Structure 1
Amino acid sequence: MPSKPAKYGIKIWVACDAQSSYAWKMQVHTGKLTSGGPEENQGMRVVLDVTDGLRGHNVTCDNFFISYELRQQLLKKKITMVRTVRKNKPELPPALLATRGREAFSSKFAFTPTTTLVSYFPKRNKNVVLLSTLHKTAEISDREYRKPAIILDYYHNKRGVDNLDKVIGTYSCRRMTWGGKRRQYQFCSPKKDC
């Protein structure tokens, strides 16, 4: 992944605690399926796999994990979701995507019975769209940037994975070698002296 600090490695899907960065479940991404074709609804499968066994929690994820069916499956398990949304999705209301005439730090909300969408406009030509099944009201911070509560919760909760990545990068499991020399060990039985 050229855009990431660690360009090479093994991709692992992780569900971890937002406060302690404790890894709840991990799943190694092995690439293509044995059938050879691309996997359908991979994002939904991954989220359902790593949240198996959880109830009454909130999942924070990025815009890779998008699906109406995923939201419904998580709500059945009493799990809410906060995530970013790609702006090219046809189901987004055009009023949330329009930026002409909007002032900086303004927010627009859209509601359904189970979902809240927010469009936050931090600066010119920058529109951030998030979806939440946790939030039901249009709460906005009274601080300088007037960020919606959905965005503040998203930033706060995604720190768990960011911190886990940092810890994994800081602490290595590599071991020093003896420079190619092999040490010989002698094994003795308990009854016999060596």
Structure 2
Amino acid sequence: MREVNQGMRVALEMTEGFEGRTVTVDNFFTSFPLAEELHKRKMTVVGTLRKNKPELPPQLLQTRLRPVLSSVFAFSRTQTVVSYIPKKGKNVLLLSTKHRDPAVEEGPKRKPKIIVDYNHCKCAVDNLDKVVGTYSCSRRSSRWPQTLFCNILNVSAFNAYILYTDVNPSWNERKLFRRRLST
């Protein structure tokens, strides 16, 4: 049997006992009930939204008549939703309980502040995916336990590297290939 609201359950379990933090989540976890529950726990959330959420107003989903690089904001008492059109036919939706104003970044892309903050916080996850994809012990397999085990090894090795470089910051400072060493 498939579990309902699994993303919300996992996010609430992972944030149990925390207060005053900002949680950045992907569209699997982001929901309006999660935002309300985290707000009750004195936490804020920033996350991408799927377009099939029934709470979304239709004005945010429409892309046809909107110009490229335009943003439309919707506000409730505790939540802000932004719809951003980065290119023709593409709509990026984000939910935030941290942002309360329709701030848009100056520059050629005119990104909303919510998207800038989301991208800033998600860069560590993107970097992990990039490193694990580049230096991986995984092999093609149809056996899911083997695939899971290899993924655990990959992430554990990267975490060990991060801890080691944090404890020993000068371990390789004279090397010329520093770009490969940075995380």
Higher fraction of helix: 2
Higher fraction of strand: 1
Structure label with greater radius of gyration: 1
The corresponding residue for 1:159 is: 123
Alignment of 1:70-85 (within 5 A): 70-85=34-49
**Any idea what the Cα deviations from partners look like across 1:21-78, whole Å, max 9, x if unmatched?**
xxxxxxxxxxxxxxxx222221111101111222111111111113332212211221
Q: Between the two proteins, what is the percent identity of the paired residues?
A: 55
The corresponding residue for 1:103 is: 67
Q: 1:118 aligns with which of 82, 107, 114?
A: 82
Q: 1:133 aligns with which of 92, 97, 113?
A: 97
The corresponding residue for 2:147 is: none
**Any idea what the Cα deviations from partners look like across 1:143-181, whole Å, max 9, x if unmatched?**
10000000111111011222334455548759xxxxxxx
Q: Which runs of 4+ in 1 moved over 4 A?
A: 166-169, 171-174
Choose between structure 1 and 2 for higher RCO, CA contacts under 8 A separated by at least 6 residues.
Answer: 1
SS of the equivalent of 1:131 reads strand
Separation of aligned partners in 1, 2:106 and 2:75: 22
User: 5+ residue gaps in structure 2?
Assistant: 138-152, 155-183
- CA distance 1:53–1:162, change in 2 (3 Å): farther
Tell me how far 1:96 sits from its aligned partner: 1.0
Q: 2:6 aligns with which of 20, 42, 56?
A: 42
State the AA in 1 paired with 2:86: P
RMSD between superposed Cα atoms in Å: 1.9
TM-score by length of 2: 0.69
Most deviating of 133-142 and 93-102: 93-102
Alignment of 1:49-88 (within 5 A): 49-88=13-52
Aligned pair count reads 138
- CA distance 1:164–1:114, change in 2 (3 Å): same
